[in-house]
Amino acid sequence: MEDLKNQKTEKIGEIQKGRRRLEQRSEACFPITIGESRKFGRSTPVKFQPFLLDQWLQSHAEPPIEFDLAASTGPHWTLQELLQLTGEEAPTGWLELELTYSRAEGMTRLREAIAEMQGVPVDEVLVTAGASEALFHAFFLAAEPGANVVVPFPCFPPNQSVPEALGLEVRSYRLRHQNAWRVDPEEIAALADSHTKLILVNSPHNPTGATVADAEMRWLHDFAARKGIQLISDEVYHPIYHGEPTASAAALPHATVIGDFSKAFSLGGLRLGWIIERDRIRRKMYVNAREHLTITNVPAAEYLADIAIRHRDRILSRTSEVAARNLAIVGQVLAEQAEIMEWVRPRGGMTGFPRLKSGEDSRAFCQAAARHGMLLAPGDCFGMPDHFRLGFGVSEEWFSRAMQRFAQFSHEWSHTRQAM
């Protein structure tokens, strides 16, 4: 009996020693107490708002609608087309790939390729499960009691719902149709205070296609650096521009930059993105968080992403050419529909955000368009019901036919409304 008691005490002693060792080790990167829950100051459980945009897209995914004008990417690639960029039918590296875990930071060769493309040291690059995971890490890290984040409105919906779910106060700066969707750096500065953890800028912007000029981005960067606030530049549509191109914020020493393979590269099925983070402690914390969440990326996807980066001239010019040609068609059709709708021509990316001049909710319009074989995205998914998102990057083959049908449909729609 006494022996058993001694064994138990010894065991508890060992567990305690083990805990202390773990705590010391993790303290070297950030404070954590193993075995004790940390007070987080939250009074409500983590809950996401419904993701209206995704629900709308998913509800029309099968059977697919004839013309997808709701997509936010460029032209699709098949696996075969991507592999053939290497000059080989099926590169041996692909066939011999070991399907094991990758590295938590991302495959080294891919990180090097991204670092070279972005002109930053490889240590600063982490590969994530899409820009979505990169954004999640940034908000997750910012989630401290009493903290706030400054994000655009309208925006890619998770940029509002994720920080909200994490208990952060979300302060939105507005992009206004009347102001050609311009970002006003001074409005952003006025929203920030000593509790602001991060400022998010998205250029080219989803859904409007607005861009932030280099001088404005530098102004915001210098402001954020002075105040000790993290500036995040979400550049998933860079470098697709339809006018004056802008530089990546990777050239600015304190900016955190988020990019991906889904938009400009149009390889959304790889589910990969990256984050360029200059702050060593933040990098450690992102990696720690991802070790808890997704552990590593899928090596097969990283292999293909590496090919995409190394052949980016071909991929990005295809996106750019298709988007430019289709944008010219949209411009013409919307000019003909000027009595019914108005828009600000996108300066970048593959989406625009027209407005119904009647001011009515566009959901019924989008539902009727879907019945006529055209998938659009209702503006209420972005909190602006009188707008709708129109994607113009996904295909060249059928785009002009789709826009002809769109023109006829819009015309008939407005006549029916007037008769009511």
Q: Which stretches of the chain bind ligand PLP, using CB under 6 A?
A: 72, 130-132, 156, 202, 206, 234, 236, 260, 262, 268, 273
Which residue matches tokens 């000059």? 87
Helix (H, G, I), strand (E, B) or coil at 68: strand
* Distance from C-alpha of 107 to C-alpha of 216, rounded to nearest angstrom: 34
Query: Count of alpha carbons within 13 Å of 94, Cβ hemisphere only?
Result: 16
Q: Taking CB positions, which residue lies at the least distance from ligand PLP? A: 130
Least distance (Å) from ligand PLP to the CB of residue 258? 7
Instruction: Tell me whether residue 65 or residue 138 sits nearer to ligand PLP (CB atom).
Output: 138
**Which CB atom, from 60 or from 405, has the smaller least distance to ligand PLP?**
60
Q: How far is the CB of 392 from ligand PLP (least distance, A)?
A: 15
Residue with smaller CB distance to ligand PLP, 10 or 54 = 54
User: What distance in Å separates the CA atoms of residue 110 and residue 114, rounded to the nearest whole number?
Assistant: 6
Whole-number Cα distances in Å, 14 to 4, 8, 35, 155: 15, 10, 14, 51
Question: If we measure between CA atoms, which residue out of 248, 266, 268 comes closest to residue 258?
Answer: 248
Smallest Cα–Cα separation from 214: which of 179, 252, 188?
252
Comparing CB distances to ligand PLP, the nearer of 340 and 388 is 388
**What number of other Cβ atoms are within 10 A of residue 190's Cβ?**
12
**Least distance from ligand PLP to the Cβ atom of residue 155, Å:** 7
Three-state SS at 375 = strand
Q: At its nearest, how many Å lie between ligand PLP and the CB of residue 71?
A: 10
CA pair distance 277, 280, nearest whole angstrom: 8
Longest Cα–Cα distance of the chain, Å, equals 94
Q: Which of 152, 337 has the CB closer to ligand PLP?
A: 152
At closest approach, how far in Å is the CB of 77 from ligand PLP?
Answer: 15
For the chain, what is the radius of gyration of the CA atoms?
24
Closest approach of Cβ 139 to ligand PLP, in Å? 12
| Shortest spacing between CB 248 and ligand PLP, in angstroms | 15
Query: Between 157 and 167, whose beta carbon lies closer to ligand PLP?
Result: 157
Task: Determine the 3-state secondary structure of 169 from DSSP.
Answer: strand
Instruction: Provide the minimum distance between the beta carbon of 133 and ligand PLP in the complex, in angstroms, as a whole number.
Output: 7
Nearer to ligand PLP by Cβ, of 273 and 379: the residue is: 273
Closer CB to ligand PLP, residue 136 or residue 343? 136
Whole-angstrom Cα distance, residue 395 to residue 401?
11
192 neighbors 229 (Cβ within 8 angstroms): yes
Collapsing DSSP to helix, strand or coil, 128 comes out as strand
